[in-house]
Amino acid sequence: MFAELPLAPPPGFRKAIPDKVKLEVVIKQHSLCATCGEKLGKLEDTQFDHVPAVQMRCWDPVAKDTVPPSNDEECIFAKHVGCHAEKTFGSKASKRGADVTEIARTKRIAKETEAFRRRILAKNEPDVTVELGNKRPKKKWPSRPFDRRGKNGKPRSGCEEGSSEADG
């Protein structure tokens, strides 16, 4: 069933990012914003973005964490507060690509995919019979000898008179 994402993290799931992880991320990015590429300023002006968004990841019920783990530094990007807000909620011009939009879209697509699958399965009647392998080999007509005609051009018949051909 695709109707819901069964292994999505619990709604609102979020773990605080340890300072060590934040530091690793900032160093990895050479203190540059992952969105605009400008230098990151103060820590208060910096936010840490999960990519993919935590709510869009699969959920590992045993580890009680997402896959990849929510604090995997490889999946966290440091950004200006403003740049992050634009990614999370979409710019005023377009909400397309924003996490909140994408999460809703992912669930909608899952539902549409399921509906589509049902239509395909219902439609799977053998209404089209493909005729293959039914090709008859070209029949070679038995070669028929030409009618032997008499010299006068008339078909030879048994009662032909004055035949020049020797019989027997």
Site residues (CB under 5 A) for Zn ion?
A: 33, 35-36, 80, 83
Q: Which is nearer to Zn ion, 33 or 75 (CB)?
A: 33
Min dist CB 102 to Zn ion, Å, is 20
Query: At 126, which amino acid appears?
Result: P
- 74: helix, coil or strand? helix
| Nearest residue (CB) to Zn ion, 57 versus 87 | 87
Nearer of residues 22 and 80 to Zn ion, judged by Cβ:
80
Residues 6+ apart with CB under 8 A from 26: 40, 46, 78
- Rg (the chain; Cα; Å): 40
Q: Which residue number, 93 or 159, has a Cβ lying nearer to Zn ion?
A: 93
Cis peptide upstream of residue 68 (ω within 30 degrees of 0): yes
What gap in Å lies between CA 97 and CA 93, rounded to an integer? 12
Residue 26: CB minimum distance to Zn ion, A: 13
Listed in sequence order, the residues at least 6 apart from 41 whose beta carbon sits closer than 8 Å to its beta carbon are 80
Nearer to Zn ion, 75 or 83 (CB): 83
Q: Phi then psi for 60, rounded to 5 degrees?
A: -100, 105
